[in-house]
């Protein structure tokens, strides 16, 4: 499957539909606009032809590219190689962001793209430096979570999904709050499993719970300050020098990675 999430591609559909000029109010004018725009962006002829065939209905065009095949007017099937799918979808995304103004939908597209581990730079969709795809990490985490013994795994999964959705909507503070709640629930569920196994009791509060996990050997003495620092970042009301989008992205990554560590440790040690 292409690297870009369907969530991101849905935003691409909306933004591209909004790019058609108001004075292109007839199909010939719409066709002329999009054929010239796509040609100028260097898209292959098969995409321009398929766009024309679909009357530049971007929902239909992007769904077909994502699927990887479409029917030619001659009746034959055109198969799109995966590398071709990825190249075209990333270029359409770059075009949507570059050609659009700072509308709410365009901003949502940018944030969703960040969750996939990409950004648009110089008209190209490129991996964010040191890329971690939040979407891929969350998918992997949810798979491990579903197979775990965590008592509140459904609650944790909902916090993670809510955090991702709020980030896409630009609501960074609530998104960070949901990420913090998922992190805290992961710590608490790990503690519950340890208490059952060891017959020992942890103190109240997250700091005491992390210290308890160190005491019983679930996390090391070196790992303890890392867990506390991650919690501190998620709990902080301000992050000087970090734009809100970047702080939100880092916060989601910290939540996903540290919760993943707890899941793996619980599976192997408890």
Q: Is residue 1 part of a domain?
A: no
Domain shared by 11 and 98, yes or no = yes
Low-confidence residues in the chain, pLDDT < 50? none
- Residues 148 and 217 reside in one and the same domain: yes
CB 237 within 8 A of CB 179: no
Which tokens sit at 25? 């109010």
Q: Is residue 167 in a domain?
A: yes
Q: Verify that 263 and 143 share a domain, yes or no.
A: yes
Q: How many Å apart are CA 164 and CA 168, to the nearest integer?
A: 6
> Is the same domain home to 115 and 13?
yes
Q: Is 71 left (phi over 0), alpha (psi -120 to 50) or beta?
A: beta
pLDDT of residue 73: 63
State whether 256 and 138 are in the same domain: yes
User: Do 173 and 105 belong to one domain?
Assistant: no
Return the structure tokens found at 195: 């208490």
Instruction: State how many domains the chain has.
Output: 2
Tokens 């340890």: give the residue. Answer: 194
Flag whether 185 is in a domain: yes
pLDDT digits (tens, 9 = 90+) for 68-85: 887 666 667 778 888 888
Whether 25 and 96 share a structural domain: yes
Model confidence over 26-35: pLDDT tens digits? 999 999 999 9
What is the model's pTM?
A: 0.71
Q: Which residues pair with 124 in a beta bridge?
A: 121
Are 264 and 175 contained in the same domain? yes
* pLDDT of the residue at 131: 53
Please indicate, yes or no, whether residues 138 and 265 belong to a single structural domain of this protein. Answer: yes
The answer to whether residues 155 and 262 belong to one domain is: yes
Confidence (pLDDT) at 136: 79
- 119 & 72 share domain: yes
Give the pLDDT confidence of 217-262 residue by residue, as tens digits.
999 999 999 999 999 999 998 899 999 988 998 999 999 999 999 9
Supply 213's token pair: 């996990």
Same domain, 139 and 119: no
Segment holding 261, helix H or strand E: helix 244-269
Domain with 92, as residue range(s), is 6-127
């Amino acid at each position: 499957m292409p690297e870009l999430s369907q969530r991101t591609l849905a935003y691409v559909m909306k933004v591209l539909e909004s790019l058609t000029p108001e004075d292109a109010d007839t199909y010939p004018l719409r066709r002329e606009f999009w054929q010239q725009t796509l040609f100028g962006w260097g898209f292959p002829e098969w995409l321009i032809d398929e766009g024309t065939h679909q009357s530049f209905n971007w929902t239909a065009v992007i769904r077909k590219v994502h699927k990887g095949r479409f029917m030619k007017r001659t009746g034959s099937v055109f198969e799109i190689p995966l590398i071709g799918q990825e190249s075209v979808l990333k270029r359409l995304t770059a075009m949507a962001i570059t050609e659009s103004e700072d509308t709410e939908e365009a901003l949502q597209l940018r944030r969703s793209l960040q969750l996939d581990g990409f950004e648009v730079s110089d008209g190209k969709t490129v991996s964010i430096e040191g890329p971690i795809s939040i979407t891929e990490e969350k998918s992997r985490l949810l798979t491990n979570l579903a197979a775990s013994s965590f008592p509140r795994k459904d609650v944790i999964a909902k916090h993670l999904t809510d955090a991702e959705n709020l980030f896409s909507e630009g609501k960074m503070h609530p998104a960070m709050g949901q990420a913090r709640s998922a992190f805290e629930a992961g710590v608490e569920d790990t503690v519950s499993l340890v208490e059952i196994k060891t017959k020992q009791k942890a103190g109240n509060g997250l700091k005491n719970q992390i210290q308890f996990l160190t005491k019983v050997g679930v996390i090391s003495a070196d790992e303890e300050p890392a867990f506390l620092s991650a919690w501190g970042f998620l709990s902080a009301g301000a992050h000087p020098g970090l734009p809100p989008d970047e702080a939100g992205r880092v916060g989601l990554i910290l939540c996903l990675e540290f919760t993943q560590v707890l899941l793996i440790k619980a599976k192997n040690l408890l």
